[in-house]
Amino acid sequence: MLFLALAVAFVASIILTPLVIKFAFRIGAVDRPNYRKVHAAIMPRIGGLAIFGAFMIGYAILRPADEHSTAILVGAIIIIATGFLDDMLEITAKAKLAGQLAAATVVVAWGGLQIDFITLPFIGQFDFGYFSIPITIIWIIGITNAVNLIDGLDGLAAGVSSIALISITVMAVIMGNVFVAATASILAASSLGFLFYNFHPAKIFMGDTGSLFLGFMISVLALLGFKNVAVVSLIIPIIMLGVPISDTFFAIVRRIRMKQPISAPDKSHLHHCLLRTGFSHRQTVLIIYGIAILFGAAAVLFSQATVWGAIILIIIMLIAIELFVELIGLAGTNYRPILNLVRMIGK
């Protein structure tokens, strides 16, 4: 039945996307070129409706059961509505954040999904107490916006999200979490079907309707699979989502260094930096896909490592990320602490 649901979701996405393209042009839900955009033509931008529709069809066939499932679906509908309104009306950042907060609150308050505690190596269990609710909400909103921020090139957010969802599926199978594995795989199939029209040169953008929905679902599914576990295991979803999380983190670092508001838009995200390096649109997307796959593989390897092995792996990854960031100028062209140190030592 799972394979049927996956096949139906994949095909439904392929069938629904052209219908959404026509609908987007009819209602004026289009993305017009400007100085921050890399596309030169008017594009329909509510492709997330096709992903959501395909996902719901596949989900209805399989109907995976979980105590949190109803709240997750309600939260997803809220986030889809928020993204759709932004794609149509370009609502304020505060209004968009309010929608994300409402969706996260439904999952946490009604669905009861919370990170109550973690188990620290060599120390023992650490309870979050009253902070469990805000920590969980911050996680959901943070990952939702991280996926939203990487949606800057044809096929980028859909591909990276699909890779993250496949990684979550693999880890859920290893951990025996049937609901997370089934839901994540159906959503991955829906996103991959959408890529037929979204990969460069794209015929449609997913818009905030899609990127917020994918980010929200990824954040919740990752949380469902790894809540209330050892802190080492809690790092697994962070590794899986290494591309959007690192891009968002260094965007914040970059804006603080430039004394700009954290929410200020710019053209210095990961894909912008790779484009400036000389890679083509398609090459840039494929490189980021490759990085996302490496993060996914590292997460699986991390889950099978000992505590000390996991710590060593994290240190190696952090150094590699920092060097890559400095080489492409992700945190700013003059941000090169490790490279400058190496150059000083070499003199």
Query: What is d(CA 30, CA 41) in angstroms, rounded to the nearest whole number?
Result: 10
Buried b (16+ CB within 10 A) or exposed e, 60-91: ebbebebebbebbebbbebbbebbbbbbbeeb
Cα 251 from chain centroid (whole Å) = 15
208 is in an annotated binding site: yes
| DSSP-derived 3-state class of residue 248 | helix
What DSSP string describes 286-301? HHHHHHHHHHHHHHHH
Where do we find the tokens 């999200």?
A: 161
φ, ψ of residue 30 to 5 degrees: the values are -125, 155
127 is in an annotated binding site: no
Where do we find the tokens 């037929």?
A: 196
What DSSP string describes 273-327? HHHHHT--HHHHHHHHHHHHHHHHHHHHHHHHS-HHHHHHHHHHHHHHHHHHHHH
Cα 24 from chain centroid (whole Å) = 24
Other Cβ atoms less than 10 A from the Cβ of 286: the count is 16
Cβ atoms of 47 and 197 within 8 Å: the answer is yes
Q: List, as residue ranges, the binding site for Mg(2+).
A: 148, 208
Binding site, by residue number, is: 148, 208
